[in-house]
Amino acid sequence: MSEKTGETLLEVKNLRTSFQTDAGIVQSVRGISFHANRGESLGIVGESGCGKSVSMLSIMRLLADNAHLKADKILFNGEDLLHKTAKEMRSIQGNRIGMIFQDPMTSLNPLFTVEEQLCNPLMRHLKLSKKEAKARALKMLEDVGIPSPEKRLSQFPHELSGGMRQRVMIAIAMCCQPELLIADEPTTALDVTIQAQILDLMAHMKQEYGTSVILITHDLGVIASICTRVLVMYSGLVMEEGSIEDIFYRTGHPYTAGLLASIPKETKEKLIPIYGTPPDLLNPPKGCPFTARCPHAMEVCRQYQPPLVPLGEHHSSACWLHHKSVKAKIGEVKL
Amino acid sequence: MAKYILKRLTAGIVSLFILVTITFFLMHVIPGGPFSPSEQRNVPEKILVQISDKYGLNDPLIVQYGRYIGNLLHGDMGISFKKQDTTVNELIAAGFPVSARVGALGVCTALIVGIPLGIIAAVRRGKLADGFSMVFATIGVSVPSFVICVLMMYLFCEKWKIFPSYGLRSWKGYILPVFCMAFSQIAYITRLMRSSMLETLRQDYIRTERSKGVPEFQVIGKYALKNSILPVVTYVGPMVASLLTGTFIIEKLFSIPGLGRYFVSAITDRDYSVVLGLTVFLGSMIIICNLVVDIMYAVIDPRVKITE
Amino acid sequence: MPTIEPNEPTHSLSMTDEIPEALLAPLSDSEREKETISRPSVSYWKMCWMRLKKDKLAMLGLTVLVIMTLLAILVPMFSPYTYDQTDFAHPLEWPSALHLFGTDKMGRDIFVRTMYGARISLTIGFTAAAINMVIGVLYGGIAGYLGGMVDLVMMRIVDILTGIPSLIYMILLMMFLGNNIQSILIAMCLTYWITTARMVRAQILTLREQDFALAAKVCGLSKWQILIHHLIPNSMGSIIVTVTFLIPSAIFQEAFLSFLGIGIQVPMASWGTLANDAIEYLFSYPYMMLFPASAISITIFSLNFIGDGLRDALDPRLKK
């Protein structure tokens, strides 16, 4: 697949997802556009509730039935996912797009063996016989670094440790050699030492299988370790998009700057938290959602949502600080 | 496994023993006896004393108790005081198969209708099918069984004369009793299955199954069903015990010669040995059913270790 | 699926437009403050009540129950007949303007008797539920919180109690204590609290391991204070739901016992007694069965709707 590296694999335009709840309509994703290229790792960062998981579940069509999904387009390898039937989606789910979830403790069915859970997609998508599927499953478990895979295959999830279970999840997601792997906070629920192992494993699997990865996390450190491009989300909107260098060294949005300032670093400078809480998505503000917490907030921020403006070749940011009138008045703001 | 079953059965026997003891003394505390003058007005008092003597009812209570337990250990539950020449063992041997036949049909009907109905309601939550099954289920748990029986008898036996109102002579005789017995059970199972299935469908592992591209039919019928059936299994255990041993109201109203009809009459008649016999029999059924439930639970859920 | 149109962010001001000077003023802290959460915070119980109010079936159930209670209180007070007043000149009369629900074999007015029966049935239902809630919560709470040997012994007792053929025991107790409301209540206290106790124990077992319980311990609260002030209030939602379903089953049980003729005795009237009275006239005077049977069914129907609504309102996770 390496010959096609660089071309667009997934393209999402103006995705909006909302949920009907008792309290009203929660607008979790409010019009985001992004793309993922073949062979690259895209990171999506943002705090809890910013819509990063919901947008991925929307693409995979795994939303609860009180959800409402709208988009201008969702193209996967040129195919329109938006108008596929549930049945057509199933030949993509687990086959061409694999997914790993946050909590390995609850993501595996407690009443079925690892073999059952791993062989099901193999037999379904690759049309393998039971025997072939088992052989393939064994190899997968070996690949994800599980010792004595024969024994593990017949075990139940409760007999495995958290890290082991996440390895099984990765094996399940990768067993059909998907073109895209969506990892939704794959290391959040794990111990720090295990986190590094799982990230290494994901990087290794990506290399070996030539899979593109979308990694969702709230941890910029995790992004830095394996991603090439980053999407910063806040309150259901994209705040900033760019390469890892753009985000870390040419930061273009006060929210990204806030996130960076709150990561512990080796130098003993003081950690600066972002004060306040994100806006209520039941009734989102009409202007920039970060206004309430932004140290640079102006009147215009409260009234108008800034569009994403290009700052470099692949770098763009949604902030009024980049507007010429603002620059004329207060000059370039160092973020 | 064998060790576990043995342990549970031993514990069961101890519970039964406690049960028999309490029943025995409680029964004798109740005023009146099988041959007390107030019960048998037209029999001379002297003869009553003689009869009581014959059955050993004039001995001290503790002696009677010792004798009863001794006989029980040999599997002899004594003679009915009210039905001459009938032992309690014979009574149970005659009544239980009849009750069990109706009960087993009732249990099967309840499971066959209740489980799918609950699944459909959960899967189609908020839709018409859910609404219908929930209204039906709420009616089922809200209408007392005697009202259902009486209504069915009135409609099918009196008004339309489709089914006989008593006896089990043909298959037609079974339909109404089985239906009345299963009606509220279907409702309970439907409600239980629905809420359990809804809970399961919210779990992360179901999302994982879907993310693998598993068809909805298999997600629900295989992966979610195994998880959500557990509360139903727990409920069905005691239900089986009580349905198999006969339902008083149904046996009384439809004149079915089962065990259930003795529950009340034996006590009001102070037929001590029958009351005790029924207690022992029912108690053991409950204990056995609970044991079977626990074993089934462990078979379904590998996290439950029954050897401990 | 409802069509939801999320309001899209307005890009009415583009990057190429000039921004008016007035909009470039920096916001003060207090002005930014206004942008933060505008939703008023609502207490848990108030939120539950708001959710319950939206549940049409539960509200219908509540209305029916209130009407039934009012009728039960008022009808026997203002009716020209009393519940035990016989009138041998007019036995077995079909419903008419004079006797709304007709009369029974002794000429007693069935309307008054049904409403009088509502008093007894509702009293038994609510009292039995309250008593069993107290026993169940204390028993389950103590077993769950103390744990160890105490828990083991207490749960063994519960196991033995579940092995009891409860019908036989209730009848035995009723014979021993006599046929009145008190003995029905006592008979029900035998095994009714077991579900509540089991549920509370399971809840306490998980709650006591949680950090807030540890925090309370660190603050120096005694075991009992933690149990009473922290653990039990936290499982109140599930307790209330269990109890709401205890009420209908207590009413059921009373009706059942009285229907067998070993509960409330004539001339007193409960719904079960009335149904028992009616059974011999079922084919000739079905109205006698119709009214008490409908009264029980409607009441229990409402209670179940309230219970379902409460469950959804207290734990919305179970609904959505």
- Asked if residue C319 has pLDDT above 60, the reply is no
Contact partners, residue A293, CB within 8 Å, separation at least 6? A255, A258, A274, A275, A276, A278, C32
Q: Is B223 close to A109, i.e. CB distance below 8 A? A: yes
**Separation between Cα atoms, residue A212 and residue A206, nearest integer Å:** 7
Cα distances (Å, whole numbers) of residue C232 to A67, B77, C198, C205, C277:
35, 46, 14, 11, 44
- Asked if residue B201 has pLDDT above 90, the reply is yes
Size of interface A-C (CB pairs under 8 A): 105
Q: Is C162 close to B286, i.e. CB distance below 8 A? A: yes
Report percent pLDDT > 90 for chain C: 23
Instruction: Report how far Cα A213 is from the mean position of its chain's Cα atoms.
Output: 9
Q: Which of B179, B206, B53 is nearest to B105 (CA)?
A: B179
Position A228, amino acid:
T
Q: What is the pLDDT of residues C186-234, one digit of tens each?
A: 888 888 898 889 889 988 888 888 888 889 989 999 888 888 888 888 8
- Asked if residue A2 has pLDDT above 60, the reply is no
pLDDT at res. A93: 94
Contact partners, residue B50, CB within 8 Å, separation at least 6? none
**Interface-testing mutation among B7, B13, B29, B141, with chain C (most C C-beta atoms within 10 A):** B141
CA distance B227 to chain A (A): 7
- Asked if B159 is an interface residue toward chain C (Cβ–Cβ < 8 A), one would say no
Cα distances (Å, whole numbers) of residue B183 to B111, C158, C240:
11, 29, 27
- Asked if residue A207 has pLDDT above 80, the reply is yes
- Asked if C164 is an interface residue toward chain B (Cβ–Cβ < 8 A), one would say yes
Q: How many CA atoms lie within 13 A of B230 on its CB side?
A: 19
Q: Which of A30, A66, A297 sits opposite C8 (nearest CB)?
A: A30
Residue with tokens 């300032």: A261
Cα distances (Å, whole numbers) of residue C272 to A306, B145, B153:
71, 12, 18
User: Which of A59-73, A105-119, A271-285, B151-165 has the weakest average pLDDT?
Assistant: A271-285
Parallel, antiparallel or unpaired: strands A316-317 and A237-243: antiparallel
- Decide if C174 contacts C184 (C-beta within 8 A): yes
Q: Which of C160, C304, C308 sits opposite B15 (nearest CB)?
A: C160
Q: What is the pLDDT of residues C229-260, one digit of tens each?
A: 888 888 888 888 888 888 998 998 888 888 88
Burial of A273 (0-12, 13-18, 19+ CB in 10 A): exposed
Parallel, antiparallel or unpaired: strands A79-80 and A97-100: unpaired
Parallel, antiparallel or unpaired: strands A229-234 and A237-243: antiparallel
Q: What is the pLDDT of residues B59-71, one digit of tens each?
A: 888 998 999 999 9
Position C201, amino acid:
R
Q: Is B213 close to A111, i.e. CB distance below 8 A? A: no
Q: What is the pLDDT of residues B106-157, one digit of tens each?
A: 999 999 999 999 999 999 988 899 999 988 998 898 898 888 998 998 899 8
Contact partners, residue B253, CB within 8 Å, separation at least 6? B146, B149, B150, B153
Q: Which of C24, C33, C37 sits opposite A280 (nearest CB)?
A: C37
Between C24 and A257, name the one with better pLDDT.
Answer: A257
Confidence of residue A47 (pLDDT cuts 50, 70, 90): confident
- Which of chain A's residues have a Cβ under 8 Å away from the Cβ of B227? 109-111
Secondary structure of chain B in HEC code, one letter for each residue: CHHHHHHHHHHHHHHHHHHHHHHHHHHHHCCCCCCCCCCCCCCCHHHHHHHHHHCCCCCCHHHHHHHHHHHHHCCCCCECCCCCCCEHHHHHHHHHHHHHHHHHHHHHHHHHHHHHHHHHHHHCCCCHHHHHHHHHHHHHHHCCHHHHHHHHHHHHHHHCCCCCCCCCCCHHHHHHHHHHHHHHHHHHHHHHHHHHHHHHHCCHHHHHHHHCCCCHHHHHHHHHHHHHCHHHHHHHHHHHHHHHCCCHHHHHHCCCCCCCCHHHHHHHCCCHHHHHHHHHHHHHHHHHHHHHHHHHHHHHCCCCCCCC
Size of interface A-B (CB pairs under 8 A): 75
**Separation between Cα atoms, residue A231 and residue A130, nearest integer Å:** 41
- Asked if A158 is an interface residue toward chain B (Cβ–Cβ < 8 A), one would say yes
- Asked if residue A149 has pLDDT above 60, the reply is yes
- Asked if A14 is an interface residue toward chain B (Cβ–Cβ < 8 A), one would say no
- Which of chain A's residues have a Cβ under 8 Å away from the Cβ of C51? 22
CA distance C230 to chain B (A): 26
Position B110, amino acid:
A
pLDDT average, residue stretch A203-222 = 90
**Interface-testing mutation among A323, A326, A329, A330, with chain C (most C C-beta atoms within 10 A):** A323
Q: Is C293 close to B151, i.e. CB distance below 8 A? A: yes
Cα distances (Å, whole numbers) of residue C128 to A314, B180, C176, C245, C260:
71, 27, 19, 11, 20
- Asked if residue B4 has pLDDT above 60, the reply is yes
Instruction: Output phi, psi for A26, to 5 deg.
Output: -95, 120
- Which of chain B's residues have a Cβ under 8 Å away from the Cβ of C283? 154, 158
Q: Is A325 close to C24, i.e. CB distance below 8 A? A: yes
Contact partners, residue C34, CB within 8 Å, separation at least 6? none
Q: Which strand (E) or helix (H) includes residue C70?
A: helix C56-78
pLDDT at res. A1: 44
CA distance B108 to chain C (A): 22
User: Which of A54-63, A239-248, B83-92 has the weakest average pLDDT?
Assistant: B83-92
Burial of A138 (0-12, 13-18, 19+ CB in 10 A): middle
Chain B 206-265, CB below 8 Å of chain C: which residues?
A: 238, 248-249, 263-264
Coil, strand or helix at C267: coil
pLDDT average, residue stretch C276-283 = 86
Between B268 and C305, name the one with better pLDDT.
Answer: C305
pTM value?
Answer: 0.88
- Which of chain A's residues have a Cβ under 8 Å away from the Cβ of C24? 298-300, 325-326, 329-330
Q: Is C36 close to A292, i.e. CB distance below 8 A? A: yes
Instruction: Output phi, psi for C93, to 5 deg.
Output: -90, 135
- Which of chain A's residues have a Cβ under 8 Å away from the Cβ of B209? 109, 120
What tokens were used for B188?
Answer: 């309970």
Calculate helix-pair angle for C110-146, C193-207, nearest 10 degrees: 30
- Asked if B195 is an interface residue toward chain C (Cβ–Cβ < 8 A), one would say yes
pLDDT at res. A268: 60
Q: Which of C184, C285, C80, C73 is nearest to C274 (CA)?
A: C285
Q: How does the average pLDDT of chain C come out, rounded? A: 84
Residue with tokens 């990765």: A170
- Asked if C305 is an interface residue toward chain B (Cβ–Cβ < 8 A), one would say yes
- Kindly state the DSSP code that residue A85 receives in the 8-state scheme: -
Q: What is the pLDDT of residues C121-137, one digit of tens each?
A: 999 999 999 999 999 99
